[in-house]
Amino acid sequence: MITGQPPLDRLLGVTSPTFTLPHGAQLPRLGLGTWPMDDAAAEVTVAAAIEMGYRLVDTAENYGNERGVGRGVKASGVPREELFVTTKFNKRWHGVELAAEAYERSLDRLGLEYIDLLLIHWPNPGQGRYVEAFQGLVRLLEGGRLRAVGTSNFKPAHLDRVIAETGVVPDVNQIQLSPTVTRESARAYHAAHGIVTQSWSPIGGQSKDVLREPVVVEVAERHGRTPAQVVLRWHMELGLATIPKSSDPVRLRQNLDIFDFSLSADEVAGISALDQGDAAGADSDAFGH
């Protein structure tokens, strides 16, 4: 079993540094989230973001925008091998053969030759088939159809079952994580098993109240940065990967411009103190699709 924090690797393109994943792929630490864009918005935003230097794009079956994401990837003009595309599938595909069908359906919607990382979107433990779904991902990985395999919204207990029953460690677990939902125990579990933690809703969701928190505002003023840049830098200081969503060109550039400054340990601790506990986030034992 691979243990320890994944190594920080080379710069991909001209922007985000990468992690070397357990199965060898290079995952950009900062990418573009696309929920809740529709196909039209995703096509325009993805193409623009890639032109700015983004190399990771995240989508999902449930977002309903895979076609737009794929068109944006093609419109960017950047060679496919320089990009990292992630998508996720829903609980109807929780099965060994079903996971392969989910892959093919997403591939068809994206209009691409391959997907880099495929995630089980939610564990849906009440259904009880997420291990079989992961076994399907492992088959795709072993067959060379994927560069990496992972999970989304899995708790340590879910990951324990996956690892024990398949013998394979996910490359990534994508979870809701922000200064108000820091997921300390999940992060510790991931680090102990060599799993990359990738944060969704990294600046706190639609309300973005965290950007108005005095500690965040003060740190931003101290560094001459926006509150959002400070929060995204906080994710980097914690050793995470993240996928902030924006369709605004100015914010897209700002989100990517976080690799030339750092936060002190005290600043990181102050922002982390905003944590409201796991109960402030989505409960994947009770919710899923």
106 falls within a domain = yes
65 falls within a domain = yes
With a pLDDT cut of 90, the percent of the chain lying above it is 92
265 falls within a domain = no
- Tokens 């794929």 sit at which residue? 70
81 falls within a domain = yes
Instruction: Mark whether 63 is an active-site residue.
Output: yes
CA angle 274–240–86, rounded 5-degree value: 120
Domain encompassing residue 31: 8-206+238-248
Contact (CB, 8 A) for 46 and 32:
yes
Helix residue spans in 2-65 (DSSP H):
39-52
Q: Is 113 exposed, middle or buried (0-12, 13-18, 19+ CB in 10 A)?
A: exposed
The residue annotated as part of the active site, out of 54, 63, 130, 189, is 63
For residue 152, the domain's CATH number is 3.20.20.100
281 falls within a domain = no
Mean pLDDT of the chain: 94
219 falls within a domain = no
282 falls within a domain = no
pTM to 2 decimal places: 0.94
Q: Which residues pair with 28 in a beta bridge?
A: 18
Q: Encode pLDDT of 220-247 as tens digits.
A: 999 999 999 999 999 999 999 999 999 9
Quick one: pLDDT at residue 204?
A: 87
- Tokens 């605004």 sit at which residue? 248
Quick one: pLDDT at residue 262?
A: 98
How many domains does the chain fold into?
A: 1
DSSP 7: P
262 falls within a domain = no
Quick one: pLDDT at residue 265?
A: 98
Quick one: pLDDT at residue 1?
A: 24
